[in-house]
Amino acid sequence: MHFLLTNDDGIEAPGLAALAAAVSAIPGATYTIAAPDREYSQCGHRVTTTEVLKVLQKAEHAYAVSGTPADCVRAAVFGLGIKPDFVLSGVNAGGNMGQDLVISGTVAGAREAAYHGFRSAAFSHYLVKGIALDWERTGRWTTQLIEWLLGQNLADGEFWNVNYPHLPPGSEALPERLITSPARPPMLVTYDRSEGNAGEWDLRYTARYADRPAPVGSDVNVCFGGAVSVSRLSVVA
């Protein structure tokens, strides 16, 4: 089985390395990386059509693309001729749940693959301030999640969105896995406002991710509660 790996944190991101390590632990699996040459967090499903995409081969099966995660999937499949059995996007440093689904470049990488008929999944890791992120543990968790996802059916146009909770060191076992739906309520958006020149104001975003609404059973509620959220999404609006 051949996997295509991408992300929105850039080709040098530790989350992408964790994803590659996760795939390497699956017997018989191979992979190609096509990831942005820089960070494209919160770029949504932006694609490049009026500029030339530059592709730099970084290793035997790793390519840096001067575009977004959705661009990377397109470039790999239609520009480089990669024909993956499964497309994986992540592991993002930060959660992607609820309202994030339309903003996230990580989710867009998996969604772009689903548009073209490839099985795909996005992986993200919620962050809690003051707790170090254990990428090696994340890689081990991801191997187990991939192996489980391989046994699940996806309808045409469907893809998976996985969000890990941020647990303290020492919690090695994969947390409980729960099927969820994206939270409907949006983030509680707040800004600090300061006056600049006449007729101008500066608005500094101050909303806290941890303060977002978390309806019972939603991806936010489950992930914030310490379990792994797995949502089945669709490209159909």
Q: What is the mean pLDDT of each run of 10 residues along the chain (237 residues)?
A: 97 98 97 97 95 96 97 98 97 96 97 97 96 95 98 96 94 95 93 88 92 96 97 88
pLDDT at 171: 82
**Among 92, 87, 119, 116, residue whose Cα is nearest residue 104:** 92
Tokens 């490839």 locate to 118
pLDDT at 169: 87
* Architecture category of domain 2-186+215-234 in CATH: 3-Layer(aba) Sandwich (3.40)
Distance of CA 26 to the CA centre of its chain: 20
8 Å CB contact between 229 and 97:
yes
pLDDT at 60: 92
The predicted model scores a pTM of 0.95
Report the distance separating Cα 165 and Cα 7, nearest Å: 19
For residue 117, give both structure tokens: 């008929």
pLDDT at 44: 94
Tell me the one-letter amino acid at 64.
Answer: A
CA angle 124, 127, 118 (to 5 degrees): 5
For residue 118, report the phi and psi dihedrals to the nearest 5 degrees: -95, 140
3-class state of residue 223 by DSSP: helix
8 Å CB contact between 175 and 227:
yes
pLDDT at 93: 97
pLDDT at 195: 87
8 Å CB contact between 176 and 143:
no
For residue 118, give both structure tokens: 């490839």
For residue 32, give both structure tokens: 């190609």
pLDDT at 228: 98
**Among 48, 95, 94, residue whose Cα is nearest residue 73:** 48
